[in-house]
Amino acid sequence: MPAPDASAITRLAVFTPLDSLGRAELITRRLADAICLGLLADGEQLPSEADLADQLGVAIATVREALGELRRQGLIVTRRGRGGGSFVRGPSPRETATHRRERLRELSVEDLRDLGDHYASLAAGAALLAADRASPEDVRRLTDAAEAFAAAEDPDRRHRTDGRFHVEVAAAAHSARLTRAEIAMQTEIGPLLWLPGADAAVGGRMAEQHHRIAGAIGAGEGEHAARLAREHVTEAIERLIELHLNLMGR
């Protein structure tokens, strides 16, 4: 099942004006986050340099600098001539797996628990607000994202659809800032959460959790949705800590 189209609030979070400092770096980071999470699909054409500059509220030269860095990172390719432009090049599973394991080795158990606390609080807060603010269309997107995860057959696809579900929860809260925070969190720790892999039992439980979170949001049960979201994240962090200890031989 294809991933649901990005909601308006999700795309707003990606293409809204930036803070005043380090603009080229911020553009690079924001677009790289969106590419790695799959919010910008492999092969998708980015807006033109002029359109990006206008949407992000920066000079064209700043956009060009950021796109140059994304090209150096191998996350976009630029084609010249008619039908040209900058196109997303999503990283392959092999390219990302080694990087993720090295990143996990660099973290301590305390780092992981701290990240987990932050992520769980963010996910719970987003679910609480979403239950109060979500429109029927938002709930449909959440349900579609939950079904996309349940139908995913390979680990990379499951990782992307899990991350997409959490971003859609934040988007359903109708806060671009909260959605950007969720995208950043997914990029920081989301890829690591899938390093342990997920057997059929774990994958089935996660799929059930997604549907229950979406159901609670759709029913306007904020406290219940928040508790479910927190439990969902906490379980994932515990699996990651176990893998980290195994990698470190502890």
Give the 3-state DSSP-derived string for 135-147, with helices as H, strands as E and coil as C: CHHHHHHHHHHHH
Asked if residue 135 is part of any domain, the answer here is: yes
Residue 118: CATH number of its domain? 1.20.120.530
Question: Does one domain contain both 241 and 216?
Answer: yes
Give the total number of structural domains in the chain. Answer: 2
Asked if residue 55 is part of any domain, the answer here is: yes
Q: Tell me: the pLDDT tens digits for 4-36?
A: 556 776 776 677 666 545 789 889 888 887 887
Residue 34: CATH number of its domain? 1.10.10.10
Question: Does one domain contain both 72 and 137?
Answer: no
> What's the farthest any 2 CA atoms get from each other in the chain?
57
Q: Which amino acid is at 122?
A: L
Query: Shortest CA distance to 50 belongs to which of 41, 63, 39, 65?
Result: 63
**pTM, full prediction:** 0.69
Q: Tell me: the pLDDT tens digits for 118-149?
A: 999 999 999 999 999 999 999 999 999 999 99
Domain residues for the domain of 150 are 93-247
DSSP 73: T
According to the model, what pLDDT value does residue 32 have? Answer: 83
Where the chain has pLDDT below 50, the residues are 1-3, 20
Among 35, 57, 88, where does a domain finish? Answer: 88
Asked if residue 2 is part of any domain, the answer here is: no
According to the model, what pLDDT value does residue 45 have? Answer: 95
